[in-house]
Amino acid sequence: MTSTVENGVVSTEPSHSEPDTEPDAAEVAPETVQETPEEPAKPLPKRRVGWVFAVAVVFWAIDLVTKNLVVANLEGKEPVKILGGLVYLQVIRNPGAAFSMATGMTWVLALVALAVVIAIVWLSRRLRSIGWAIGLGLVLAGATGNLTDRIFRAPGGLQGHVVDFISAFAPNGKGFAIFNIADSAICVGGALIVLLSLLGKDYDGTSTKDKKKVEKTREEQA
């Protein structure tokens, strides 16, 4: 303010000082925060339901055909040596589980096989991994193949005896347990699933390693 005296009257006038150059707090632009954009999520692989049932049908058919052939041609006969004695073919009616285990629990094993089939069919809707689809398809084929025997072969009614016909290294299961194609499919499929799990490959087509990497990136950005 400036004061002047004119005719004995003191008047005040606002001084023309330089305007305040500091901006109003409300006009201050918020600080720009630079965020690191997340990597775009990878598209999920296609569903692999068809692979499960294709593998299952093929190996179930192979198991059924080979059992019918050996029953028609080898039952009641001496073991047939092939591959220089590496394998002997002979028909054995097995009331137990794979490799002649759990003999005497036929109906229980039939119910277990039925539960396995239902579980695989339910899980197959979410499958996106070809490896898992093949593994589960093999297990499904094996479980269905032996379940078919328990339902339709004598004495029947979930009490049917499974046809085993492969005796490795020696006849009558002296070198190794006697088994069939279904048993082999179950073992190979199970081993494949275990291997995929150890490698961090999930049934939905993702990898546990990728999931851990994404979680670590999110923690660093938080």
Catalytic center residues: 164, 183
Q: Counting every residue, how long is the chain?
A: 222
Residue 172 tokens, joined:
């009558």
Neighbours of 204 (CB within 10 A): 13
From residue 17, give the alpha-carbon distance in Å to each of 20, 22, 24, 137: 9, 14, 18, 88
Give 7: exposed, middle or buried? Use CB within 10 Å, 0-12, 13-18, 19+: exposed
Q: What ranges make up the beta strands (E) of 68-193?
A: 80-82, 87-94, 162-168, 178-179
How many whole angstroms separate alpha carbon 93 and alpha carbon 150? Answer: 11
Residue 71 tokens, joined:
């029953």
Q: Judge whether 181 and 62 are in contact, CB under 8 Å.
A: yes
Q: Judge whether 178 and 94 are in contact, CB under 8 Å.
A: yes
How many whole angstroms separate alpha carbon 6 and alpha carbon 168? Answer: 128
3-state secondary structure (DSSP) of residue 151: helix
